[in-house]
Structure 1
Amino acid sequence: MAIAHRNTAQWQAMDASHHIHPFCDPKTLAERGVRVITSADGCYVYDSDNNKILDGMAGLWCVNVGYGRQELVDVATAQMEQLPFYNSFFQSSTPSQIELAQKLSEIAPGNLNHFFFANSGSEANDTVIRMARHYWHVRGKPKKHKFIGRHLGYHGSTLAATSLGGMKHMHDMGSSMLPGFEHIMEPHWYAHGGNMSPEEFGLRAAHALEEKILEVGADNIAAFIGEPIQGAGGVIDPPPNYWPEIQKICRKHDILLVSDEVICGFGRLGEWFGCQHYGVQPDIMPMAKGMSSGYLPISAVAFSDEIFETINEGGPISHGYT
């Protein structure tokens, strides 16, 4: 629909009356008045008072190729004119889904050649939980159902993804913490390193994972998940030896390694995916945001050949999103 021309105060009043915002105090926001963004171009956004603002966070770490890319508008328009929607539930597919899965297999690292599509990073990480548990069940190890994440980790806002992450204020809202999820220290050298060098702290933070595995029992753990760089937790860049040590520990204890690429994927760290920047090979890799540069909601989860070959023998996959 066409956007009616109103002034900032009118939009703010309407917003306060009808629009519930995420991650804020609605009463305080209504008193202050929301900023109304009306247009964007390149790396700048413009508000209803005609202020030009440098969008340093690229939307919410998602507009990887910038605003105003006409080629993205054109291809989306052409797709909507030809086929705006069809599902993949009824043993069907579409050329665009098929071609995208093929293209992702070409750029994803190693043997990550199989992709399950969804609409958001939260849905992608819910998929990670269900599919990882299904994988271990098919392998005859149903007790391996717990997940280890990190304090200040963020993996989405659905009930399961909230539990996967390590944000206490999210756990506290509505008693949202589900059973089966454990958390270890985040690899934040500036906050926790003390007198250790970054390399010493990198090993110390990684070994917190092994300590948790020994506490919980490797036979009870499905996977470890982490963002290559923790975004919402404070843009935490771990020491360079942290991720290789994490991978070594996961391999030692037969635990799946999940690299959450929702923020770091599609060039954020100079490689296609953040795990490549740190030199590790995950078993499962959720992605979203930069996948469409935020122009449309889309996400996917990449699975290794070995995981797919296992679940391929496990009967129907009773999971999916429209």
Structure 2
Amino acid sequence: MDLSASHLRNCDLEHHLHPFTDFAALAAEGGSRIISRAEGAYIWDIAGNKILDGMAGLWCVNIGYGRKELAEVASAQMQTLPYYNTFFKTATVPSIKLAERLVDLTPAGLNHVFFANSGSEANDTIARMVRYYWELEGQAQRQIIIGRQFGYHGSTTLAASISGPHMHGQGGVPLPGFSHIRAPYRFGAEDPGQDAEAFGRAAAQALEEKILELGAERVAAFYGEPVQGSGGMIVPPSSYWPEIQRICKKYGVLLVVDEVITGFGRTGRWFASELYDIQPDLMTLAKGLSSGYLPISAVMVGDRVADTIIHKGGSLRTGLPTPAIPFLQRSP
């Protein structure tokens, strides 16, 4: 087998469609940088260059590369039970234990877990759950989900629709039923002299204005990352999230917090929701959930939504064939 750099780059150009890539431009540049190994916070390319991985993979390798204990526990689990579905009244020991642990770690009230394989799938699932919840509550007209400029919630058609306009314009995205407001981003703000707290409240007020514009009786949920990754790591003023929560409660709108890139210690807390005292109705987890070692995500479902779906909904007709993952995360 020819593993030379030139052969691998040619094969990559011939056969591999990369995400978020201009393929013609990549070919003109001579092809991809090929990563061959990693350890700790560093990666090495095929030419032997050592590179500090400042992005932690794709904001996901929270505990670093080369953690042998994770490889060992994954190997043991795969030899015992590599996969079994959790459809049709079935469970696995790891899925039960991980669900229990996530309920312990996440904000109070998020007492139910739905597993998927990626953040995109989890956010797609949440969008369906949100609309199903309102159908069961006799308010099926509540269909609109509000996201934000620069928001990123995934690449499935639904998740890309929740995301900001930079994800729109290809393949029929966005779908109907999605709307967007400004991000709490001070760069280029109309009033650069406005203090941070006043700016945060004004940015949050955009949500109330949009709800009133659309009609509160038609709005299902608001979606946001505690700190936005797309657009340049947008850290909101401390006044922003309290005002967002006040508005959601005022109009009965479900609050969905996407912790895919901010969860599992990235901000110094288990979840960034702790920094801003956010109490979401639903929360999206992925990436750091396995430190990128296995594809897995989770939807944390609050009691308000779960109680309705469990007691009024009958069979929940959505599901993803997640692996029988080992119980990876432990307390520090």
TM value normalised by structure 2: 0.94
Shift of 1:195: 1.9
- Return the alpha-carbon distance in structure 2 between the equivalents of residues 145 and 274 of structure 1: 28
1:71-108 CA deviation, whole Å, 9 max, x = no partner? 10001000100011100112101000000000001101
Counterpart CA distance in 2 for 1:8 and 1:176 is 37
Rounded Cα–Cα distance in structure 2 between residues aligned with 1:167 and 1:291? 28
1:125 partner letter: N
2:146 corresponds to 1:186: no
Q: Distance in 1 between matches of 2:188 and 2:97?
A: 44
State how far apart, in whole Å, the 2-side matches of 1:5 and 1:80 are: 30
Q: Which residue of 1 aligns with 2:319?
A: 320
Match of 1:217 in 2: 215
CA offset digits 1:52-80 (Å, max 9, x no partner): 00000100000000000001000100010
Q: Tell me the alpha carbon deviations over residues 202-240 of structure 1, each in whole angstroms, 9 at most, x when there is no partner.
A: 011000000000000111011000011111222101111
1:9 aligned to 2:21?
no
Give the residue type in structure 2 aligned to 1:38: S
- Partner of 1:117, secondary structure, is strand
**Would you say 1:22 and 2:19 are equivalent positions?**
yes
Secondary structure in structure 1 of the residue aligned to 2:188: helix
Opposite residue 266 of structure 2, the aligned amino acid is R
Map residues 1-322 of structure 1 onto 2, 5 A cutoff: 4=1, 6-32=3-29, 33-168=31-166, 170-192=167-189, 194-313=192-311, 314-322=313-321
Aligned residue for 2:187, secondary structure, equals: helix
Alignment coverage as a number of residue pairs:
318
Does the 8 Å contact 1:189/1:239 carry over to 2?
A: no
> In 2, distance between residues paired with 1:29 and 1:137?
46
Q: 2:137 & 2:260 partners in 1: Cα distance?
A: 28
Cα root mean square deviation, aligned: 1.0
Looking at structure 2, the residues matched to 129 and 306 of structure 1 have their Cα atoms a distance apart, in angstroms, of 15
List alignment gaps of at least 5 residues for structure 2. Answer: 322-332
Secondary structure, in 3 states, of the residue corresponding to 2:33? coil
Moved over 2 A (4+): none
Amino acid at match of 1:12: R
